[in-house]
Chain A
Amino acid sequence: MARTYYGWHIFLGRREYAAALEWQNRMVRYRQHGSLRDTLFYIEHPAVVTVGRDCHNVDLSRASGIETHRITRGGGSTYHGPGQLVVYPIFDLTRRGRDLRRFVHDLEEGIIRALAEYGLSCGRREKYTGVWTGDRKIASIGVAVTQWVSFHGAAINLTTDLNGFRVINPCGLSPETMTSLERETGRAVALTDFAPHLTAAYADIFDTDFQEIDLEELAEIARLEESTESL
């Protein structure tokens, strides 16, 4: 049975946060214009701390030496680094009823189903957005929406060095709360192995046929966009 929507997904590899952020902003604009479909961008960042809108006076003194960005997503501070799969869903939420909580719930659901593929049983905890296994948190979520297009998204710890979280209080929680798929199961799963499971789960949850695109196709969209913008 055909799905209601068609979308794209792409694995971008390891990218500097600042460049990825600028790039993400452009993709949001393209989605607002309609030249980009609902797209799952998978990415890995070098060690970086990001501070969301829910952190008013965060103490970053421990984070000295680590690149830090204050950004407009929801949620508090978090750490990104090698071994962590970051997914940026750039979706037009108008097509999905502009339901923010359901969107977050759906993002969590995909991660829960993908982790189940590795035999790890996960769930949610009330008031603590993210994906949890027991009382340990394996994935964090923080989303921003502009003109009803979503950006930022979720970060899933696969083989992340959990010491990275010691420089902050992730989302206001103790650093010891964080865990990874490797720590829970002993398996070192590559980002490129995990991402397809997540895409498959999101295809069901978002009723969307996500097809892979490459950088060249994105470049073509960008070229069209720039030429339209200069009209």
Chain B
Amino acid sequence: MAFEVVVPQMGESVLEGTIVEWKVAKGDKVKVNQPLVEIMTDKVNVELPSPVEGVMDDILAQPGEVVPVGKLICRITVTGEKPTPAADKPAKSASSAPAPAAAPPASAPSTSGAAPKMTPAVRKLARDFGLDPATIAGTGPEGRITAEDVQKAAAARSAVAGVSAPSKPAPAPAPAFSPAPPAPGQRAEERIPLAGARKMIADHMRRSRQISAHVTTFEDCDFTALVEYRNAMKEQFLAAYGVKLTYMPFIIKAATECLKQFPTVNASMTDTEIILKKYYNVGIAVARDVGLIVPVVHDADRKSIVELAVALDDLGKRARTDQLKLDEVQGGTFTVTNAGMFGATASTPIINQPQVAILGVHNIAEKPVVRGGQIVTRFMSTFGMSFDHRLIDGHTAVQFLHRLIEYLEYPASMFLSSH
């Protein structure tokens, strides 16, 4: 199937742009992030990057044409797939062909199991209005839900309820699903459409497994020094800064020091390039009822323990109440996930694309260990770090993890680091 490129959201008050010039012609090969088209908005000229690799199938808007946000402007056949039949009959002009002939009529509120189609920006808009996408009729190509559809649906609801658009998202109605009554003798099942956050997480996880060559390495970390330090400081810390002192700021601090020393761990890669990031944005996996989200602490290396604690508290609270901003969940260069808060002893986390490593920290508990020939009890946690073996070799990952643990076991050593 062809990938459909629409005019993206470019800001709240930007509703349309003018096509200036296509950078690729029909039939050209395109790579991910290759500029496709130049679009001019008021005083700002934007080159839209290609979201996929493939072949330009069809161009549906001509230079000089004014195109609204959300409008379909071209189709790209993703590499390895056959062109769609629709590509054989080029649209006369995009403005006269808002929907390809092959598109089904604008669907009534979806009752089928398929998730309604829309761009992430439109999905967010629907969420902001507290609307369930399954209840919105899509008027775009192939029943796609447009920003306008969402606004209309919101207006219709407001008219009924006699209120204006809510600034706070209203609780979304329960997803519409219609379980078929079980046939006699059959066990009851419940079928829920895969949509929204769950669908995004599902796609993201599966994609990561396909892209990266996952290997997980384990090591035990002795938290005793940090446990003692935290116990001594936690009340004072809470009183002074209004947030709880957890171990996470220390783990992030130690991780950023190590990322500086092992540049390939703070990186991403394409088929032809290795991209070493010179900034250190650490994502923290946060559990929510609707599913996992990973807010990002930007420039974590430049923040103090206190600043990290405050930032984590803030991001965590807003993550659980769906109040994160777009840039607060993007741009991560490394991720830490804490399965320990649920009691897990060890796990093999999945890399958060396009990153190349993720650190899983686990339950901190007193355990017997041998120190100087004696069995003693210490506060121990098992770290599991998954890394992408395409880029990171085993010895690098092990050295990284050992250095990280050294910093946490002897926090003073971090201050002596030359980086």
Q: Is the CB of B44 within 8 A of A34?
A: no
The stretch of A42-50, A98-106, A155-163 in contact with B is A98-106
Nearest CB on A from B253, distance (A): 15
A37 → chain B closest CB, angstroms: 7
- Chain A residues within 8 Å of B38, by CB: 53, 72
**Which of chain A's residues have a CB closer than 8 A to the CB of B302?**
6
- B276-313 contact mask (Cβ, 8 Å, vs A): 1 or 0: 11110000000000000000001100110001000000
CB distance from A29 to the nearest CB of B (A): 11
Question: Do B40 and A54 touch (CB < 8 A)?
Answer: yes
B103 sits at the interface (CB 8 A): no
> Given known contacts A99-B11, A146-B49, A221-B278, what 14 new A-B pairs fall within 8 Å (CB)?
A4-B298, A34-B275, A72-B45, A99-B14, A100-B10, A100-B46, A101-B41, A129-B42, A129-B43, A144-B44, A144-B47, A146-B46, A147-B49, A228-B276
A:10-61 near B, CB below 8 Å = 33-35, 37, 52-54
CB <8 Å contact, B326 and A100 = no
- A54 contacts across to B, CB distance below 8 A: 40, 43
- The number of residues on chain B lying at the interface, defined by a beta carbon within 8 Å of a beta carbon of chain A, is 38
Determine whether A73 belongs to the interface, using a CB cutoff of 8 Å to chain B.
Answer: yes
Partner of A95, one of B8, B10, B307, B331: B331
Q: Which of B41-59 contact A (CB under 8 A)?
A: 41-47, 49
How many A-B contacts at CB < 8 Å in the complex? 115
| Option from B33, B46, B331, B333 in Cβ contact (under 8 Å) with A145 | B46
Contacting residues, chain B, for A231 (C-beta < 8 A): 273-274
**A95 and B298 contact, Cβ closer than 8 Å, known pairs A2-B303, A53-B38, A101-B42:** yes
CB-contacts of B1-60 with A (<8 A): 8-14, 20, 33, 35, 38, 40-47, 49
Minimal beta-carbon separation of B34 from chain A (angstroms): 9
Residues of B within 8 A of A129 (CB): 42-43
Smallest Cβ-Cβ distance to A95: which chain B residue: B327
**Which A91-137 residues have a C-beta within 8 angstroms of B?**
92, 94-104, 129
Which residues of A approach B to under 8 Å, CB–CB? 2, 4-6, 33-35, 37, 52-54, 72-75, 92, 94-104, 129, 141-148, 221, 224, 228-229, 231
- The answer, yes or no, to whether B236 is at the interface (CB within 8 Å) is no
B152 at the interface (CB under 8 A from A): no
Any A CB within 8 A of the CB of B178: no
- B12→A99 contact, CB < 8 A: yes
Q: Give the shortest distance, in Å, between A20 (CB) and chain B (any CB).
A: 18
Tell me the bound Cα distance from A148 to B326 in angstroms: 14
Per the bound structure, the CA–CA distance linking A229 and B54 in Å amounts to 23
Contact A94 B47 (CB under 8 A): no
Is the pair A5, B11 in contact by a Cβ cutoff of 8 Å?
A: no
Which of the residues A6, A97, A141 comes within 8 Å of B299, measured between beta carbons? A6
**With the chains together, A231 CA to B47 CA distance in Å?**
27
Given the interface contacts A96-B327, A100-B10, A101-B14, does A145 sit within 8 Å of B47 by beta carbon? yes
Q: Residues of B with Cβ closer than 8 Å to A?
A: 8-14, 20, 33, 35, 38, 40-47, 49, 273-279, 298-299, 302-303, 307, 325-327, 330-331, 333
Secondary structure at the B interface, as helix, strand, loop or mixed, is loop
Q: Which residues of B contact A75 (CB under 8 A)?
A: 43
Question: What 3 A-B pairs are tightest by C-beta distance, nearest first?
Answer: A99-B11, A146-B47, A74-B45
Q: Write the nearest CB–CB distance from B48 to chain A, whole angstroms.
A: 9
Looking at B42, B43, B298, B307, the one whose CB has the most chain A CB atoms below 10 A away is B43
Contact partners of A2 in chain B: CB under 8 A: 303, 307
Question: Given A33-B275, A35-B278, A53–B10 Cβ distance below 8 Å?
Answer: no
A228 to B298, CA, bound (A): 23
Q: Which residues of B have CB within 8 Å of A99? A: 10-12, 14
B271 to chain A, nearest CB (A): 13
Q: Which residues of B contact A97 (CB under 8 A)?
A: 11, 325-327
Instruction: Provide the bound-state CA to CA distance between A96 and B331, in Å.
Output: 11
Nearest-CB residue, chain B, relative to A32:
B33
Distance from B359 Cβ to chain A, minimum over Cβ atoms (Å): 20
B43–A141 CB distance below 8 A: yes
A60 to chain B, nearest CB (A): 19
For A92, list chain B residues within 8 Å (CB): 331
Which residues of chain A are near B14, meaning CB under 8 Å?
Answer: 99-101
Query: Which residues does chain B contribute within 8 Å of A95, judged by CB atoms?
Result: 298, 327, 330-331
CB distance from A58 to the nearest CB of B (A): 15
Q: Which residues of A contact B33 (CB under 8 A)?
A: 147
Q: Please list 30 pairs of residues, one from A and one from B, whose beta carbons are closer than 8 Å in the complex, sorted by A's number.
A: A2-B303, A4-B298, A5-B298, A34-B333, A53-B40, A54-B43, A72-B38, A75-B43, A94-B326, A95-B327, A95-B331, A98-B10, A98-B11, A99-B12, A100-B11, A100-B14, A100-B44, A101-B42, A103-B11, A104-B44, A129-B43, A144-B44, A144-B45, A144-B46, A145-B46, A145-B47, A147-B33, A221-B278, A224-B276, A231-B274
